[in-house]
Amino acid sequence: MAANMMGGTAAPAAGAAAPAGAKFCPNCGTPTNGAKFCSNCGTQLG
């Protein structure tokens, strides 16, 4: 799997194991861990 343009990790590919309830930034795919802003790209989350 390729990393995103910012050099972070991408969200798991379809069918890959991800923790139940895992959430990812809609902009770059970084796991959000319940944050209000993405730690990778700064996008405001949910």
pLDDT tens for the chain, residues 1 to 46? 455 555 555 565 555 666 777 899 999 999 998 899 999 999 999 8
8 within some domain: no
Decide: residue 25, CB within 10 A, 0-12 exposed, 13-18 middle, 19+ buried.
buried
4 within some domain: no
26 within some domain: yes
14 within some domain: no
5 within some domain: no
Rounded to 5°, angle at Cα 15 from 10 and 20: 80
44 within some domain: yes
Number of domains in the chain: 1
State pTM to two decimals. Answer: 0.54
In this prediction, residue 1 carries a pLDDT of 45
Token digits of residue 5: 């343009």
28 within some domain: yes
Q: Which domain holds residue 34?
A: 22-46
Task: Please provide the distance, in angstroms rounded to a whole number, between the alpha carbons at the two ends of the chain.
Answer: 26
